[in-house]
Chain A
Amino acid sequence: MPGITPEEVAHLGRLARLELSSEELDHFAGQLDDIIGAVARVSEVAGEDVPPTSHPLPLTNVMRQDTVRPSLTPDQALSGAPAQEQQRFKVPQILGED
Chain B
Amino acid sequence: MTTDIIRLTAAETAAKIASGELTAVEVTEAHLARIEAVDEKVHAFLHVDREGALAQARAVDAKRAAGEPLGPLAGVPLALKDIFTTEGVPTTVGSKILEGWIPPYDATVTKRLKDADVVILGKTNMDEFAMGSSTENSAYGPTGNPWDLTRIPGGSGGGSAAALASYQAPLAIGTDTGGSIRQPAAVTATVGVKPTYGGVSRYGMVAFSSSLDQGGPCARTVLDAALLHEVIAGHDPMDSTSVDVPVPPVVEAARNGSVAGLRVGVIKEFGGEGFQAGVVQRFNESVEMLRELGAEVVELSCPSFTYALAAYYLIAPSECSSNLARFDAMRYGLRVGDDGSHSAEEVTALTREAGFGPEVKRRVILGTYALSSGYYDAYYGSAQKVRTLISRDFERAFESVDVIVSPTTPTTAFPIGERVDDPLAMYLADLCTIPVNLAGNAAMSLPCGLAPEDGLPVGLQIIAPALKDDRLYRVGAAVEAAFVTKWGHPLLEEAPQL
Contact = CB atoms under 8 A, between A and B. Distances in A.
Contact of B333 (A18, A34, A80): A80
A12 B340 CA distance: 26
A19 to B, nearest CB: 4
Nearest to B382: A46
Interface string B332-343: 111100101011
A86 interface: no
Given A54-B384, A56-B197, A80 B338 contact: no
A18 B349 CA distance: 5
Contact of B332 (A24, A40, A80): A80
Interface in B334-386: 334-335, 338, 340, 342-350, 352-353, 356, 358, 361-362, 364-366, 368-369, 372, 378-379, 381-386
Interface in A57-79: 57, 59, 61-62, 64, 72, 76-77, 79
B365 A12 contact: yes
B385 A44 contact: no
Given A46-B381, A46-B382, A92 B369 contact: no
B338 A82 contact: yes
Interface stretch (B19-27, B290-298, B309-317): B309-317
B102 interface: yes
A17 B349 contact: yes
Interface string A3-44: 010000100111111111100100010011011101111111
A52 B333 CA distance: 36
Contacts of A17: 325, 328, 345, 348-349, 352
B369 A91 contact: no
Interface stretch (B28-36, B57-65, B70-78, B387-395): B387-395
Nearest to B438: A56
Contact of A36 (B342, B361, B369): B369
Contacts of B356: 18
A69 to B, nearest CB: 11
Given A24-B361, A32-B365, A92-B338, A50 B385 contact: yes
B423 A46 contact: no
Give the dominant DSSP class at B's interface. helix
Nearest to A93: B343
B140 interface: no
A53 interface: yes
A95 B311 CA distance: 40
Contacts of B314: 39, 42
Interface stretch (B170-178, B236-244, B274-282, B445-453): B236-244
Contacts of B383: 39, 42, 46
Interface residues of B, number: 69
Q: A9, A41, A43 — which one has the most chain B CB atoms within 10 A of its CB?
A: A43
Interface residues of A, number: 55
Contact of A79 (B104, B198, B389, B423): B104
A8 B33 CA distance: 52
Interface in B412-426: 423-424
Give the dominant DSSP class at A's interface. loop
A57 B368 CA distance: 25
A19 B198 contact: no
A80 B331 contact: yes
A54 B332 CA distance: 30
Nearest to B330: A91
A77 B103 CA distance: 9
B101 interface: yes
B307 to A, nearest CB: 6
Contacts of B350: 19
B321 interface: yes
B365 A53 contact: no
B101 A80 contact: yes
Q: A53, A57, A91, A94 — which one has the most chain B CB atoms within 10 A of its CB?
A: A53
Interface of A: 4, 9, 12-21, 24, 28, 31-32, 34-36, 38-47, 50-57, 59, 61-62, 64, 72, 76-77, 79-83, 89, 91-94, 96
Interface of B: 101-105, 197-198, 211, 237, 240-241, 243, 304, 307, 310-311, 313-314, 321, 325, 328-335, 338, 340, 342-350, 352-353, 356, 358, 361-362, 364-366, 368-369, 372, 378-379, 381-389, 391, 423-424, 438-440, 466
21 contacts: A16-B321, A16-B352, A17-B348, A17-B352, A18-B353, A24-B358, A28-B361, A28-B365, A42-B310, A42-B311, A42-B386, A50-B389, A55-B241, A56-B439, A56-B440, A57-B241, A62-B240, A80-B332, A81-B331, A92-B346, A94-B345
